[in-house]
Amino acid sequence: MSILDSFSLDGKVAIVTGASSGLGVAFAKGLAEAGADVAICARRVEKLESTRKAIEEMGHRVIAVTADVSKPEDCERVVEETVANLGGVDILINNAGVASAAPATREDPEEFRKVVDINLNGSYFMAQSAGRAMGQRGGGSIVNIGSVLGSTTAHLPQAAYCSSKAAIIGLTRDLAAQWTGRKNIRVNALAPGFFESEMTDQYPEGYLEQMMFRVPAGRKGESEELVKAAIFLASDASSYVTGALLPVDGGLLVN
């Protein structure tokens, strides 16, 4: 296999959670462009239709599944339908996530639980289900989508979001330690910096631009830059990389 061939996902089957908008759509399309067949899931399946059509037009198999990743039974169903329709699971992009911003003394307990349930518990439940299927296939790659806010702050009151993304780092390391040698399943995480998405639309107007003083690259990230990093971690190009946190942040964490 040549170096360039090692980045190919030809013959692979990937699951992308939270694929109804923003970065999730970019991940799903990017994995298909790299050669993978793709299962996409989100809580509202009708929002997956345009992504499903785009992947079909690339000539790849694709299924769309309704799922709330905070429910273990939904995660298991996504994997079961992927195996039944696409033949197995090789890659999981744990992208589903939500954010909240509320002062810690006034944050509603249910809102805090919701963020942790989806961002952390959902990533774990999906990894559990996908890991079982990957083990039957001889291995695979799990890419958890964390955030630089697992290692720093955004100068906003986001205790729930920051806590959940910090926990993703620990989850990634532990699953890598458990599964890499025993099951040939590599587990890594991406830590995106400032990218425009449906989530950042909730921020105050002009907020992202104001934060650029923290970014040595001096600009926001483009979704394609994050997708390229995900393809690296999903593919054989990163065959000796596991338990790693890869910041894609224009240098924010070194500033």
For 99, other C-beta atoms within 10 Å of its C-beta total 23
CA-wise closest residue to 230 among 162, 142, 150, 147: 142
> Rg for the chain (alpha carbons), in Å?
17
Query: Which residue, 24, 40, 47, 49, is CA-closest to 85?
Result: 40
Token couple for 36: 């993978």
Active site residue 240: no
The CA-atom distances, in angstroms, between 60 and each of 8, 38, 238 are 14, 8, 23
Cβ contacts of 129 within 8 Å, gap of 6 or more: 72, 75, 76, 78, 79
From the candidates 124, 161, 203, 240, give the one annotated as an active-site residue.
161
CA–CA separation, 148 and 9 (whole Å): 27
| Residue 185, both tokens | 């399943």
Catalytic residues: 161
